[in-house]
């Protein structure tokens, strides 16, 4: 291996994972180059979610005082819907609207640029508008990256691939043994502009408080889910759709999104809004089951590139896992550089550290959740069952006496073709998954 390096480490991708990795490396006194293919960090991101910032406590104390946040989420709703019905479990917690907060909606171009600025302030070198097109190798070991700039080879002791879902670098390094389309979903999102006061009124919040609504049963025949998040003066409204089944069907994602927006439970929320943006992105839905090798000779993988996106029904998290994994990758790389051993053995404690944190612990514990959430029972039968039971429960049928709850449930289960045995089986499965 050539001993000449341009930097101690190269981090590819200035999203949350890459910025956190570069921040930790720079703080450890290592020279680090943060490559970003967009003109600025966050310019390539498509996101309509909640940023859970607890992981930032260790990286940036009192981060909430400066982070570019749209609204602090104080209401979390889970909505189960059929064609014209909806059941909502709505939880409100005013404590989440004050420091140290819980989660926030944010515009990723703002948030990512802010986090990347922390890395550059610490000494990382940010190079934008530069795409890493491949790996430089010597004897099978990764020694740098090739970029799309003239004379664009860059050498370092460690490369940290934070280049997002469908990571070309991780694939080139042979860290993804195979790619299964069923492990991916497509997220489509509209950003819908509405005046702040209208959002406050419709969603029952005030000031900088916001709402997160996760929806199941809104995607027709395509397994998936939906969401509505409140920003300051816009809504993020979108769907997450199973990639193979979307491709196999005749319905386009924008049509499915249009249908959700006309649902009686959603239409009043988005009415009169102006669509400011439509975007789509692939999501690594299967989490733990699809994770690549995280450590290679001279290379680490973090964030979406390592499929560290938790899509576990009631928990939809990504940015916190990206930051957590990126920070650990940065620390592991810094330690390995300090020891002078950036082989896979020298970098191996990256995975061990991740296993001891929420990053892999949560993914491992909830590894069956994505499949459970995408199952026909959760997607088709559960929404009809829940809405049907509540319809029977709340419909007053005088002069007929009120039916008992057990009778209603049995009748609805029969109508939806759910046997007691199957219900118990799936209930136990859910308990094992989430318990």
CB of 112 to other proteins, least distance (A): 12
Site size toward other proteins (CB under 8 A) is 19
- In the complex, least distance from residue 149 CB atom to other proteins, rounded to whole angstroms: 4
Report the nearest approach of other proteins to the CB of residue 273 (Å): 12
The pattern of x and - marking residues 129 through 168 that bind other proteins according to CB under 8 A reads -x----------------x-xxxxxx--------------
Contact (Cβ atoms closer than 8 angstroms) between residue 186 and residue 246: yes
Beta carbon of residue 151, minimum distance to other proteins (angstroms, whole number): 4
Compute the least distance from the CB of residue 147 to other proteins, in Å: 6
Let me know: does 433 contact 370? Beta carbons within 8 Å.
no
Q: Which of 87, 127, 348, 430 binds other proteins (CB under 8 A)?
A: 127
| Contacts to other proteins from residues 85-114, by CB under 8 A | 109-110, 113
CB-nearer residue toward other proteins: 40 or 358: 40
Nearer to other proteins, 197 or 250 (CB): 197
Q: For other proteins, which is the closer residue by CB, 71 or 412? A: 71
Site membership for other proteins, residue 193 (CB under 8 A): yes
Bridge partners of residue 187, in order along the sequence? 240, 281
Choosing from 100, 195, 264, 272, the residue that interacts with other proteins (CB under 8 A) is 195
Nearer to other proteins by C-beta: 156 or 291? 156
Judged by CB, which is closer to other proteins: 150, or 376? Answer: 150
In the bound state with other proteins, the residue whose beta carbon lies nearer, of 33 and 294, is 33
**Angstrom distance (rounded) from CA 231 to CA 110:** 13
Provide the binding-site residues for other proteins, judged by CB under 8 A: 6, 33, 39-40, 109-110, 113, 125, 127, 130, 147, 149-154, 193, 195
């Amino acid at each position: 291996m050539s001993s000449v390096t341009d930097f101690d480490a190269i981090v590819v991708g200035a999203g949350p994972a890459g910025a956190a990795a570069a921040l930790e490396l720079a703080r450890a006194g290592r020279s680090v180059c943060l490559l970003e293919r967009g003109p600025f960090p966050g310019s390539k991101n498509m996101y309509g979610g909640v940023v859970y910032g607890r992981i930032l406590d260790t990286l940036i104390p009192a981060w909430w005082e400066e982070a570019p946040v749209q609204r602090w989420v104080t209401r979390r709703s889970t909505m189960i819907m059929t064609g014209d019905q909806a059941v909502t479990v709505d939880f409100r917690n005013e404590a989440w609207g004050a420091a140290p907060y819980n989660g926030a909606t944010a515009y990723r171009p703002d948030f990512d640029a802010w986090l990347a600025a922390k890395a550059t302030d610490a000494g990382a070198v940010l190079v934008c508008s530069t795409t890493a097109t491949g790996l430089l190798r010597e004897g099978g070991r990764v020694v740098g990256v090739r970029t799309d700039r003239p004379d664009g080879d860059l050498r370092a002791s460690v490369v940290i691939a934070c280049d997002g879902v469908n990571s070309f670098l991780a694939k080139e390094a042979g860290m993804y043994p195979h790619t299964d389309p069923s492990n991916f979903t497509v997220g489509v999102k509209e950003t819908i502009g509405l005046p702040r006061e209208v959002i406050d009124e419709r969603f029952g919040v005030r000031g900088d408080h916001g709402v997160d609504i996760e929806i199941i049963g809104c995607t027709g025949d395509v397994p998936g889910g939906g969401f509505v998040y409140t920003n300051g003066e816009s809504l993020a409204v979108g769907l997450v759709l199973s990639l193979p089944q979307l491709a196999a069907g005749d319905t386009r994602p924008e049509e499915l999104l249009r249908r959700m927006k006309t649902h009686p439970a959603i239409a009043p929320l988005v009415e009169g809004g102006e669509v400011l943006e439509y975007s789509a992105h692939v999501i690594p839905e299967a989490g733990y089951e699809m994770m690549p090798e995280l450590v290679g000779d001279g290379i680490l993988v973090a964030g979406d590139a390592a499929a560290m996106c938790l899509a576990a029904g009631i928990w939809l998290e990504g940015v916190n896992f990206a930051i957590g994994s990126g920070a650990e990758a940065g620390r592991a790389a810094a330690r390995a550089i300090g020891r002078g051993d950036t082989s896979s053995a020298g970098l191996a404690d990256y995975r061990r550290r991740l296993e001891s944190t929420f990053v892999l612990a949560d993914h491992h514990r909830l590894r069956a959740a994505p499949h459970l959430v995408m199952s026909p029972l959760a997607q088709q039968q559960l929404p009809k069952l829940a809405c049907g039971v509540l319809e029977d429960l709340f419909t007053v049928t005088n002069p007929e006496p009120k039916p008992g709850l057990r009778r209603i449930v049995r009748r609805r289960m029969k109508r939806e073709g759910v046997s007691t045995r199957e219900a118990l089986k799936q209930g136990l499965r859910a308990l094992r998954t989430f318990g």
